[in-house]
Structure 1
Amino acid sequence: MSRFDMQQQIDPLIWSVLQPGEQVRWWDRPGPNAQVSNNTWKRLLIQSLIGGICGAILLPLCIFYLSHPRPSLPFLLGAFVIGALFFPIITFGRLGRSSHRSISRDAALRKALPYTRYAITDRRVLMVTQMPGQRSGIMSFQPHELAPIKRIDQGGGWGDLSFGGRRGRFANISSVEYVEQMLRSFR
């Protein structure tokens, strides 16, 4: 028998968060090769470059126009030189802050994976985490909150499902195609 049709073998953590009369259709936990982050250095670098360019151009221009009632070409060139000097500082500062936040968040999520359970009930989709000695953290998604649903296959029936924008993710679950069909029919 599989987990898909066995109400009596549901993980106690999931049982503890069910509402009265709520029935579990499916449950699982992250597989052994679960990856935490979808963040890439490429995305962080692009965001930092855009922010750096904007900051490096807008900051000097604002200073220039606020401090000079009659703008002239040498002052404008000076403002762009200041911008060119600030560009690396702003860009790498943004990249450093973004990567630090991303790495810290990913480390916390990686630590929580062994204590995480996923469930689809007749009412909602659940992600429940309970670290030792702490209260349960519950993320609950109603059917209208699931779009868009995206599956990433890892081979052998395993994969990741992301849903609800970036908020929801079932990491490295077995029978990923079956679970995706359940989510799509749930909406």
Structure 2
Amino acid sequence: MALFKVNTGTREQEVCQLNWQWEVKVPELNTSIFVIPADFGGRTERGGVKNTDDRIVVLNRIAKQVIDSQRGLHPVFVFPHENHAVGRMLNSAWKNARTRAAKEYERITGMPPNKGFKSLRVHDLKHTFGHRLRVAGVDEENRKDLLGHKSDTSVTTHYSAPALECMIEIANKVLETDPQQKKSLTIVRKKQHDPRKTRAKIL
């Protein structure tokens, strides 16, 4: 789920509730996309796509591999847990995985990870995807489309095969930035309540 999220920029409940009925095959490109209904729900009755529009999720190479590996596990949910949808990703399993990852990081690099590594939030994966797009030189309009933000020319209004092919190519650009990410893993995130303050987070 984390690997899918960091390669699509989806929100937590969009991943938890991801449904096979939302998959749309694109035979011209030998792939598929997901169209998440604006009112799909979530953990509350008001849950749904944040910008209130149906959202298209294109799959880069890694996200497609994740989806293909999930086929056949459940007739409804892409990421099932004990025959139902996962309630949330930020749970005890996530926290335990952070601890194991921090230990593995230190074992591989010989250096202790930044403190932020152990407190990595699920939502940080969406920010990481956006940051990787920026590092890859993707313009703001295309970043908005891939992240599911409001835009003047949203891809949700036209998803012909050529348009989707372009978006998939752009989404694959984040994979080219991986060596650069390893060189510099610090991301500065501004606190919304006080724009003068910042804090660094290791991703």
TM-score, normalising length: structure 1: 0.22
- Higher-strand-fraction structure: 1
Bigger Rg over Cα: 1
- Higher-helix-fraction structure: 1
